[in-house]
Structure 1
Amino acid sequence: MNITEQLTVTARKNRRKTAYIFQDQEISYLELEGAVTKFASRLQQLGYKKGDHIALVVGNSPYYIIGLYGALRMGAVVIPVNPLYTPHEMSYILRNGDVKAIITMDVLLEKFEPIADQLPDVQHYILCNSGTESAHDKSPLAAKMKSFTQMVEEGSLGFDDPGTTDEDTALILYTSGTTGKPKGAMLSHKNIYSNAKDVADYLTIGGEDRVIAALPMFHVFCLTVALNAPLMNGGTVLIMPKFSPQEVFRVARVHEATVFAGVPTMYNYLLQSAENSQDDFSGIRLCISGGSAMPVSLLKGFEEAFDVKVSEGYGLSESSPVTCFNPLDRPRKPGSIGTSILHVKNKVVDEFGEELPTGEVGELIVHGPNVMKGYYKLEEETATALKDGWLYTGDMARMDEEGYFYIVDRKKDMILVGGYNVYPREVEEVLYDHPGVAEAAVIGTPHPESGESVLAFIVTNDSSLDKTTLLEFCRAHLAKYKVPSKIEFMDELPKNTTGKILRKNLRERTAH
């Protein structure tokens, strides 16, 4: 069984039931099932085959759901990409991912025009209508353009079964690594189906639930928890194009939402906007938090204000993503990521892979049907991450006597800006591309709204280089949330005896 087969089963049982609501328009499971099958068949008619790689560069919308499920149904490997990425950032993923087709919004087409010559294998740009006026017929990519809506209309309800197996790759999720180049985590159909089912069962997400999808769908947290899990059991997905506290309250009230999933930053904004909005959340039975640790004071304040439980969890792209959640049938422990979900094992080990006693800090490792196949075209990195079936997360953790886990420190040096991961090396690579930069080091610094912001330390070899010029350079090559909020020029960066830059010293410098 995979998620597209499960959709067929669910649609047969719930033909008239609402699968999703977008901009207050309700679509039934029967209509969704039909659109998915038609899109899958049209991809086949265009010559796409099982195993072909298709990029999905779309924001939260029905296009995302139909594009994802349709491509998976015809046997394609889907590569979700953040629509906020610059052409520079997209180029590597699309090339490394051997992409043959790109599903994207029409307003994003201009992002692909400057890199099209780097993507000779891309046969079609499948454009989703944003409702804005645009003259795409003059685009240099016009010959390769297809209309997403027309493809669904022209598709057939009958198509050739690609013979997909549980072990076939379904998704490749690109996640930045220590090298500065993103790594593609390969998730099988079994990986994503099992995690969606186990999350739905663990959190009792069922057919009566209405789940707000305000997190970005290209992120695996939203994909599994707010999309696949409710569709697994006949629930309704309330699609929000982007997060807005007042719109969350409106959607929750008007469409009688029962579940909300978000990162701590979202909960902070909701709490700050809570005046006269508590009744809007009266139907919410469960809130789910992930992405980073929620401050205990925020967790308690939110629960008191809205009279609802917040279940914190933990996951990573390489595990589809969820491995832990605070259970609903036992006491929740603030500050903990909870206990292992169904069919998944977590344990804390020392540097030799030996399990540590309760309470001792070591590396968190994960085993289960949700653990990735490996990194695409990266055998050495795969061998480092996967050992004897266990995924080594790189996160330091401890476990208490009741089996609750606590993250002691995040993956080394990662910065979390408003729920988005920013890896210092990736920003540094861009900074080093500027001819006036001799050395660069990037760290995270606390920010009252986004959790953290990016701080860059620069040693320049050009005395005329100023912060404004360097920030403009960054904006041209990085998504907005990765651009440094502050730049400091230094005569030299702190280093150890081997010449390695000491980020720890830079953090200490900012703390004073």
Structure 2
Amino acid sequence: MQTRPHHTFWPRRLPRAMNAPRTPLWDNLAVNARRFPDKAALIFMGSTMSYAQLWSAVERFAGHLHEMGVRRGDRVMLAMQNCPQLVAAHFAILRADAVVVPVNPMNRAEELKHFIVDPDARVAVATADLAVELAKASDALPEGQRLRHLVVTQFTDAFDPAALPAEDMPAAWAPWMLTRRDLPSLAGGTVHCWVDCLAREAEPPASEAGADDLALLPYTSGTTGLPKGCMLSHANAMHNAMAINAWGNVTPESVQLVAVPMFHITGMVGVMHAAILAGVTMVLMPRWDRELAGRLISACRVTHWANIPTMVIDLLASPNVARFDLSSLVSIGGGGAAMPQAVAQRLFEQYGLRYIEAYGLTETAAPSHYNPPEAPKLQCLGIPFMSVDARVVDPETGREVEQGAMGEIVIHGPQVFGGYWKRPDDTAATFIQIDGKSFFRSGDMGHVDEEGYFFATDRLKRMINASGFKVWPAEVEALMFRHPAIQEACVIATKDAYRGESVKALVVRKPAQPPVSEQDIVDWCRENMAAYKVPRVVQFVDALPKSGSGKVMWRALQEAEAGASA
């Protein structure tokens, strides 16, 4: 790696590269269960699970997965909001030498079919509120593609509602967290109760997985519609877990508020795996609630909080913010959206906290860039992270552009994924050779300032960023085309004062169909896709502009929308 200006701002206490352990990810938990058996690993809804208890649950569930026929390299779906069962199931899948397929719990049955079929998943683990959608998705598939086993847990398997103070159960959460749901049926398969699985005390065989084995298969969408599986090895995630802890001064005495979802790459690697590696106590929030977050930070003496900026904005806007004791916080930061300067200034003036922004993708196992804690810049991606060589290149020629010029951000490092599952052509297209090294093409356009800090300026790929959730228009369009009254649809971004961007759909209705309203379309979308993908605005048009080859000119529509917003 050639010398870069950002080395001037590199934290003096840290090396520029890091050699991660060559052990599997599950071993981090096994080690800390021996080191800190009685230490709190997870705090959830007033209940605490120690490291020894967590590891015991992992071993027993891994044994049960083996009894179900799960073997080395098999893919197992995991669909849950943040809860102790997610952590236990995640590490149990790895302990069984299998591969975790984390699924967004907001997905509906129509979307879930792809996450069963594409990774050839035959086993899934879900909370009861999501199990019905999973069973519905599986039942709709041909017999040879269905799930064979579905493990279902209730949220209350992890805590005692009677012992929880009423103020710590937000009113909106009670219906879906406290209701004990019946187990669904599964066509051609078996449904298992989580508690019964753990009661069996089955033992898994010795692990054979190595550092380069596939460990995680999170899915990311793109310009072609259907989500693609990103192949991340134990070594990919291990590097970033270790580097994140070093960058953020994380120790076994740290307490992490887990408000970002652990099905997402940031929560999964940047928070969960990093925390387990360091022996941290994690305070889990199943969903965001600013009042509960403020109380948890105060009561649990939280030291580290990874988030998206909208969470911080929301917390500081609480009428009760003055009552919260945030003095324990020593590190706060995140990504997914830019942090407004006024909010960052308030954080620093009132609490002495610098908001540390970062940048990364599913393909890079979370961060590839991070702002130095001692010298951060606002609304900035940061500098290339530990062990990373990142450059800005001309997307056509692959040549590095001059400092300050705009180009595509490309990334080389030990955390970069091995490619897209079953998609060799997409894999080949997303890598570029520079100076004898393979660089991942991020699809994000940016530039580097005179001090070596990276900034995002545009997108080469078509994508909407709604409060940190990445919405891929082609995927939403593909789902909308299933509506019987929609002839054509084009999805674009519209400005949103709170979320940054929201989803807008321009729709051409089919002739000779019963009339539908904009709200009818929105309601149908809510039934058939994850909430963050649902268009906030639907606009009916007579026709969509097309190029000479017949392709919808989405960029022209996007530019017109941007002009109207301005």
Fold match by TM threshold 0.5: yes
1:431 and 1:142 map into 2 onto residues whose CA distance is 30
Q: Does structure 1 conserve the Cα–Cα contact (< 8 Å) formed by 2:270 and 2:366? A: no
Shift of 1:274: 6.0
Asked if 2 retains the 8 angstrom alpha-carbon contact of 1:289 and 1:311, the reply is yes
Equivalent residue of 1:91, what SS?
A: helix
CA distance in 2, matches of 1:46, 1:425: 37
Question: What displacement does 1:298 show?
Answer: 3.2
Match of 1:148 among 181, 194, 198: 194
Instruction: Specify the alignment match of 1:124 in structure 2.
Output: 149
Q: Paired residue for 1:400, among 449, 454, 467? A: 449
Q: Secondary structure at the match of 2:217?
A: strand
What is the aligned counterpart of 1:47 among 69, 80, 88? 69
1:27-106 matches, within 5 Å, as: 27-106=49-128
Partner of 2:476: 427
> What residue number does 2:318 align with?
273
1:20 aligns to what? 42
Matched residue SS, 1:246 = helix
SS where residue 391 of structure 2 aligns? strand
> 2:518 aligns to what?
467
Tell me if structure 1 keeps the 8 A contact 2:388–2:414: yes
Q: Alignment partner for residue 174 of structure 1, among 208, 219, 244? A: 219
Partner of 2:9: none
Mapped contact 1:213–1:222 kept (Cα < 8 A): yes
What secondary structure sits across from 1:191 in the alignment?
helix
Contact 2:210 2:234 in 1 (8 A): yes
Deviations 1:7-40 (A, max 9, x none): 2222222222211111122222111122111211
What SS does structure 2 have at the residue aligned with 1:372?
A: coil
Structure 1, residues 146-184: CA drift from partner, whole Å, max 9, x if none?
Answer: 12222222124x532231011111011111111111011
Q: 1:201-216 alignment to 2 at 5 Å?
A: 201-216=246-261
Letter paired with 1:105: T
CA drift of 1:60 comes to 0.3
Aligned with residue 139 of structure 1, among 165, 185, 209:
185
Which residue matches 1:187? 232
Q: Distance in 1 between matches of 2:201 and 2:367?
A: 35
The answer as to whether partners of 1:202 and 1:341 remain within 8 angstroms in 2 is: no
Partner of 1:449: 498
Task: Return the letter of the residue paired with 2:421.
Answer: Y
2:68 corresponds to which letter in structure 1?
Answer: L
Q: Which residue of 1 aligns with 2:3?
A: none
2:534 aligned partner, one-letter code = V
Alignment-derived partner of residue 299 in structure 2? 254
Distance in 2 between residues matched to 1:500 and 1:304, nearest whole Å: 51
Aligned partner of 2:279 in structure 1 is 234
One-letter identity of the residue aligned with 2:449: D
One-letter identity of the residue aligned with 1:122: L
For 1:30 and 1:472, locate their aligned partners in 2 and report how far apart those are by CA, in whole Å: 46
How much does 1:278 deviate? 6.6
Q: Which runs of 5+ in 1 are unaligned?
A: none
Distance 1:81 1:345 in 2: 30
Q: Which has the higher contact order (CA 8 A, sep 6+)?
A: 2
Residue 412 of structure 2 is aligned to residue 390 of structure 1: no
Equivalent pair of 2:83/2:155 in contact (CA under 8 Å): no
RMSD (CA atoms):
1.9
| One of 375, 380, 389 as aligned partner of 1:345 | 389
Between the aligned partners of 2:482 and 2:56, the Cα distance in structure 1 is 48
Count of matched residue positions in the alignment of Structure 1 and Structure 2: 509
Correspondence 1:477 to 2:528: yes
SS across alignment from 2:555 = helix
Asked if the contact 1:285–1:309 (Cα under 8 Å) also holds between the matched residues in 2, the reply is: no
For the residues of structure 1 that align with 2:88 and 2:459, how far apart are their CA atoms? Answer: 34
Is 1:491 paired with 2:542?
yes
TM-score, normalised via structure 1 length: 0.95
1:423 Cα shift? 0.9
The unaligned stretches of length 5 or more in structure 2 are 1-22, 157-178
Inter-partner Cα distance in structure 1 for 2:487 and 2:186? 38
CA–CA separation in structure 1 for the residues paired with 2:74 and 2:498: 41
| Cα distance in 1 between the residues matched to 2:189 and 2:379 | 54
Is the Cα contact below 8 Å between 2:62 and 2:92 reproduced in 1?
A: yes
Q: Tell me by how many angstroms 1:233 deviates.
A: 1.1
Work out which of the residue numbers 393, 410, 413 in structure 2 matches 1:365: 410
Task: Say if 1:143 and 1:465 are closer, same or farther in 2 by CA, change over 3 A.
Answer: closer
Counterpart contact for 1:348–1:398, Cα < 8 Å: yes
**In structure 2, C-alpha distance between the alignment counterparts of 1:303 and 1:444, rounded to whole Å:** 32
What SS class does the counterpart of residue 280 from structure 1 fall into?
coil
Q: Deviations over 1:107-134 (max 9, x none)?
A: 2222133322316442210111234333
- 2:488 match: secondary structure: strand
Give the distance between the partners of 2:504 and 2:213, measured in 1 at CA: 41
Is residue 2:459 matched to residue 1:413? Answer: no
Give the conservation status (yes or no) of the 8 Å contact 2:116–2:138.
no
Q: 8 Å contact 1:348–1:356 — kept in the other structure?
A: yes
Distance 1:233 1:414 in 2: 34
Is the contact between residue 404 and residue 448 of structure 2 (CA under 8 Å) also seen in structure 1? yes
How far has the Cα of 1:53 moved from its partner?
A: 0.9
CA contact (8 A) 2:116 2:147 kept: no
| C-alpha distance in 2 between matches for 1:254 and 1:109 | 33
